[in-house]
Amino acid sequence: MGETGETGSSRTRPTIYDVARAAGVAPSTVSRAFSRPGRVNAETADRIRRVAHELGYRTSPIGRGLPDGRTALLAIVVADLTNPFFFEIIRSAEKTAIDSGYTLLVVDAHESSGAERRALERTLPLVEGVVLATSRLSDAAIRAVAKQRPTVVMNRVVTDVPSVVTDNAQGMRRAVEHLAGLGHARLTYLAGPEASWADGMRWRAFREATRELGLRAWRLGPFAPTLAGGLSAAQALTTHSATATVAYNDLVAIGTMRGLTRLGVEIPRDLSVVGFDNIFGSDFCTPPLTTVASPLRHFGTFAVQRLLNQLRAPSSGSSPGLSAPALLPAKLVERGSTARRA
């Protein structure tokens, strides 16, 4: 009934002023005791730390961020939080950020450029830098983001913006060679979202690799990069004469296998399927999926490291070495979804 007359359990945390008063020093000294080790006498610093600890003082990120905008926050924007592709990426990115004293915000773009734009609008002012993981934004929009905050894009190349990408061409080439080696001569590619840069890369590499090896190649789609998308792809495949298919990603591949199995097509006997990404789950679906493996863990670590580099480099501007895309190798993991042509 009464006003907030509580004494100890107040929800407002103590400030440096409280600590300063209790320790008999000036607030600035308290601040320095925490943020500038060595600048204040060791004994004094010790006493301050002791008092602060007793009072339960914790430095407020808001106050700290005010003067120079240092919020110690980074963000990673992923196209789809539920896509296992991002699991390892998020975790490794998070770890790297934490190890450097940053907190990583995970932002879900729901596979929509509109949602991505809105989310960025909300998040950007808060953070010091951002990783755009497989963004659905236009190059121009991404450059606009990069103008506001240090930015790293993942699995995409945008002029003047640092990026981390898998070697799609190399991976696709391996996949096609693998299928060719099994005797397949008629291949389809199941395309992903039109807005996906990686999809464009993969399709191009697919076309080139098949051409060089003298194979017939078709493109089906686009399909949503989800299991549901894969189901539609299965439908489309039934009327097709190809004996092997490469999907935009593992989710589509798995969805396709499910759909085809349901339609009575047996995999890999009737059709070989190759995925992309080697996500969590691709090894225990039935049959286990042959897929082009991306170094997922390195992806997150690498992206955040590049971001941190930018943050540390005051003279960002025009160092060309920094914005050249970092190319991470891809390798083929052969599992049960591909077999010699019947």
Under rule CB under 8 A, residue 114 binds its own copies: no
Query: Among residues 24, 37, 63, 181, which is the contact residue for its own copies, using CB under 8 A?
Result: 63
Maximum Cα interatomic distance, the chain, rounded to a whole number of Å: 85
* CA gap 128, 311 in Å, rounded: 8
Q: With CB under 7 A as the contact rule, which of the stretches 35-43, 77-85, 99-107, 305-313 interacts with DNA? A: 35-43
Secondary structure of 255-319 as H, E, C letters = HHHHHHHHCCCCCCCCCEEEEEECCCCCCCCCCCCEEEECCHHHHHHHHHHHHHHHHHCCCCCCC
Map tokens 């395309």 to a residue. 191
- Encode 117-130 in three state secondary structure: HHHHHHHHHHCCEE
List 10, 36, 138, 286, residue binding DNA (CB under 7 A): 36
Residue 3 binds: one of DNA, its own copies, none (C-beta under 5 to 8 A by kind): none
Q: Which of 53, 54, 56, 60 binds DNA (CB under 7 A)?
A: 60
Tokens of 210: 């098949």
258 contributes a contact to its own copies by CB under 8 A: yes
103 binds its own copies (CB under 8 A): yes
Binding residue (CB under 7 A) for DNA from 21, 27, 170, 328: 27
Contact between 24 and its own copies (CB under 8 A)? no
User: Cβ 82 to its own copies, closest distance in Å?
Assistant: 4
The residue within the footprint of DNA, chosen from 10, 35, 138, 286 (CB under 7 A), is 35
- DSSP for 6-39 reads -STT-SSPP-HHHHHHHHTS-HHHHHHHHHSTTT
Which is nearest to 281 in space by CA: 254, 300, 257?
254
- Computed on alpha carbons and rounded to an integer, the radius of gyration of the chain in Å comes to 26
CA–CA–CA angle 127, 70, 34 (5° rounding): 135
Which of residues 79 and 308 has its CB atom nearest to DNA in the complex? 308
Q: Which does 218 bind (CB under 5 to 8 A by kind): its own copies, DNA, none?
A: none
Does residue number 148 form part of the binding site for its own copies (CB under 8 A)? yes
Q: Does 55 bind its own copies (CB under 8 A)?
A: no
Residue 177 near residue 213, CB atoms below 8 Å:
yes
Report the interface residues with its own copies, using CB under 8 A: 9, 11-13, 58, 60-63, 65-66, 69, 71, 73, 81-82, 84, 87, 90-91, 94, 98, 103, 105-106, 108, 110, 121-123, 125-126, 147-149, 227, 258, 280-281, 284, 286
Report the interface residues with DNA, using CB under 7 A: 12-13, 15-17, 24-29, 31-32, 34-36, 38-45, 58-60, 62-64, 66-68
